[in-house]
Chain A
Amino acid sequence: MNVLNVLRVSYRSLGRNKLRSFLTMLGIIIGVAAVIAMLAIGQGASNAVKEQIAGLGTNVVIVFPFASTQGNVRFQAGETSRLTESDAVAIAAQCPAVKYVTPVVRVVTQIIAGTQNWRTSIMGVYPDFEQIRNWPVKSGDYFTSTDERTAAKVCVLGQTVADNLFGPGSIPLGATVQIRNLPFRVVGVLASKGQSSMGQDNDDIVIAPFSTVQQKLAGTIYANMLFASAISSPAVNTAVEEITQFLRIKHNLRSWEANDFTVRTQTEIASTADATTQTMTLLLASVAAISLVVGGIGIMNIMLVSVTERTREIGIRMAVGARGGDVLTQFLIEAVTLSLAGGLIGVILGVLTSRFVSSIQKWPVVISPESVGLAFFFAAIIGIFFGWYPARKAANLNPIEALRYE
């Protein structure tokens, strides 16, 4: 029996049971659609996180004032920051692998312009922030080192803050905003960085000179953290080591004492975030894969029922000259057709679901051809794997008994 005839016979018998064929496919359809959608969403989330971390700047090293957590015990828990502006200045002077350093002091407060007000976080930084975070202004300028020295009441607004205080799309250069009753002159508006994958608005920020924020808004001698950037990408680890050694000495830590700060690099943060999203993707995809296997078992179940139900038909086919191989091929093709058609519909459904989730959640999805290929390939494999046993059973039937079967 040639291939064309086998196909013809298989499709005829599938066509005779349209509803059952469709219901059998449903398992595979849902499985494949779920795998594709989950991988697309996971991939999208992972890409968004990567983008966001890349948005931190280039070769960034961040120094947090807390000790690392070790064995679930956080050393020196709750201790206030011991990082100071002098740390930053000293690092810049002493560490050759470090190019820029800025202390960061952060205040969350209300900001008022005319009749509008907005709650946002105000970051006090050096003008080097622009280079470290790779975050230029859209219009106007950053404040200058003179502003920093003189603790000038100037600020640069994020796009969201500008939008909310002065109306969408406005560039309020030269305008005055009130922060804790102090008038600040707006000297620039930051380029938009958009939303982060965690739903945070990167543009909901105001930047002002470190000295101004520290003295006039926060009233502290400490910095919340330090941002630094290494001279080059390979120098990042050297920079981390230099900063660590330097701060230990500067903070008078004995050799047995743990660091009272944490130095993180962009790569570390990226890999942590990446690992998290990958775990999530894997989790979602494995749940989806389970449904694919369940769909396969559904196919096997129906094919087994089908073999029993069609025992007589198999007997007739054998009586008129069908060989075991012909019957095997017929049933295998029926199973593979079900799973492939299910796979195809599943791919379409998966792509549509991804698009739908993307448009509802504003979540970026990435449908990679590999995931589509993989899901489709597994659907076919499942068809063969779960179709083999019933087909084998059909092919091994004794024609006499099959003919006599009621």
Chain B
Amino acid sequence: MADPIISVKHIVKIYKMGDVEVHALRGINLDIKQGEFSAIMGASGSGKSTFMNIIGCLDTPSSGEYLLDGVEVAKLNRDELAKLRNRKLGFVFQAFNLLPRTTALENVELPLLYSNNHSSSQRREKAMAALEAVGLADRSGHYSNQLSGGQQQRVAIARSLVNDPVVILADEPTGNLDTRTSVEVIEIFQKLNEKGITVVLVTHEPDIAQFSTRNIVFRDGKVSKIIEVENRKIAAEELPKIPLPMDELES
């Protein structure tokens, strides 16, 4: 548990917009240990999304070092980054980002199509197992537009974990969901985290951050403070306290 799964040293990211240089990240040093549930917080423009893109291997830093599960990422080319995303990372987005006109099962199978080492029956099996883990096995044949927001996000989580990643990165996963559904989704993340998967979550909402073990606060492209969460909330315990939408309407 002691080895950092993500180790970032002096990460700087500069975007060039014409003649203007935008310093999105100004030297980040951060270690995230295996099995941690970190929440990255910060105002808009604080650099947290840029940071997520870099640790998500979607982007490379302008300078600095990044070790993901022992792999030096900063020097990799596009194809090698793609391979790393496929093998070691799972993504969950605010907008769910499921393929339209595609069934839940096919959406979950997607990363396996690109990993190239599964037969079609193995793919199906693994995708079904992932859907079961998020409680949607009975919706495998539904098209993404036939699912509710919460269900779509759970399909997206199933997709992120189907390749047995070492880290799941969630960028505002509850941003488009109501309170109750948000907690339901967080409950899934906590369950996965219990099984040993490292979770890194970006969120605006302090409430949601309370479900993590550690809050990392970004400001002006730097880590301004790191707070170890005391009295961490457990989603399974919180759920019964939140009224069902129907109750809210009736009371």
Q: Is the CB of A1 within 8 A of B114?
A: yes
Contact of B93 with A by CB under 8 A: yes
CA distance A83 to B111 in the complex (A): 90
Contact in complex: B58, A400 (CB < 8 Å): yes
Residue total for B at the interface (Cβ-Cβ under 8 A): 28
Is the C-beta of B9 less than 8 angstroms from some C-beta in chain A? Answer: no
B160's closest neighbor in chain A, by CB? A320
A400–B50 alpha-carbon span in the complex (Å):
10
Contact flag A12-B102 (CB < 8 Å), given A319-B58, A321-B86, A400-B58:
yes
Instruction: Say yes or no: A323 contacts B159, CB within 8 Å.
Output: no
B220 an interface residue at 8 Å Cβ cutoff?
Answer: no
Cα A322 to Cα B116 with chains together (Å): 11
B225 within 8 A of A: no
In the bound complex, CA of A403 to CA of B78 (Å): 16
A321, B58: Cβ atoms closer than 8 Å: no
> Which residues in window 218-240 of B have CB below 8 A to A?
none
Query: Which chain A positions have C-beta within 8 A of B85?
Result: 318-321
- Are B97 and A403 interface neighbours, CB within 8 A? yes
Contact A319 B91 (CB under 8 A): yes
- B99–A326 CB distance below 8 A: no
| A312 CA / B97 CA spacing, docked (Å) | 8
Q: Does B19 contact A (CB under 8 A)?
A: no
Shortest Cβ distance from B69 into chain A, in angstroms? 15
Q: What is the CA–CA distance of A12 and B110 in the complex, to the nearest angstrom?
A: 12
Min C-beta distance of B8 to chain A, whole Å: 18
- Evaluate contact between B114 and A322: CB separation under 8 angstroms: yes
Inter-chain contact B79/A9, CB cutoff 8 Å: no
Q: How many residues of A contact B (CB 8 A)?
A: 24
B79 near A325 with CB under 8 A, answer yes
Which A residues between 320 and 375 are near B, CB-CB below 8 angstroms?
A: 320-326
A313, A323, A400: the one contacting B82 at CB < 8 Å is A323
Which residues from chain B contact A8 at a C-beta distance below 8 Å?
113
Across the interface, do B159 and A320 meet the contact criterion of CB distance under 8 Å? yes
A272 close to chain B: CB less than 8 A = no
Residues of B within 8 A of A16 (CB): 101-102
Q: Mark B53-75, 1 if CB is under 8 A from A, else 0.
A: 10010110000000000000000
Residue of B nearest to A313 (CB): B99
1/0 per residue, CB under 8 A from B, across A297-318: the answer is 0000000000000001101111
Q: From B82, B83, B106, name the one whose CB has the most chain A CB atoms within 10 angstroms.
A: B82
The chain A residue sitting closest to B118, CB to CB, is: A5
Q: Give the distance in Å from the alpha carbon of A315 to the alpha carbon of B102 in the complex.
A: 16
Cβ distance A389 to chain B, nearest Cβ, rounded Å: 19
**CA A320 – CA B106 in complex, angstroms?**
13
A399, CB-defined interface residue at 8 Å: yes
Q: B79 near A321 (CB under 8 angstroms)?
A: no
Q: Which of B59, B86, B113, B116 contacts A9 (CB 8 A)?
A: B113
Nearest CB on B from A107, distance (A): 78
Residues of A within 8 A of B113 (CB): 1, 5, 8-9
Interface digits, B97-121 against A, CB 8 Å rule (1 contact, 0 not)? 1111110001000110111100000
The answer, yes or no, to whether A2 is at the interface (CB within 8 Å) is yes
Please give, as numbers and ranges, the residues of chain B lying within 8 Å of A403 by CB-CB distance: 58, 93, 97
Distance in angstroms between the alpha carbons of A71 and B180 in the assembled complex = 95
Contact A321 B101 (CB under 8 A): no
With both chains docked as a complex, state the minimum distance between the C-beta of A325 and any C-beta of chain B, in angstroms. 7
Q: Which chain B residue shows the least CB distance to A395? A: B78
* A residues less than 8 Å from B83 (CB atoms): 321, 323
Question: Is A321 within 8 A of B99, CB to CB?
Answer: no
CB-based contact A326/B53 at 8 Å: no
Since A319-B58, A400-B53 are in contact, a sample of 7 more A-B pairs with Cβ atoms closer than 8 Å, ordered by chain A residue number, is A12-B102, A312-B97, A319-B91, A321-B82, A321-B83, A322-B82, A325-B79
Give 6 nearest A-B pairs by CB, closest first: A321-B86, A320-B111, A323-B82, A321-B114, A323-B79, A16-B101
7 contacts across the A-B interface (CB closer than 8 A): A313-B100, A319-B58, A320-B111, A321-B86, A322-B114, A323-B83, A323-B114
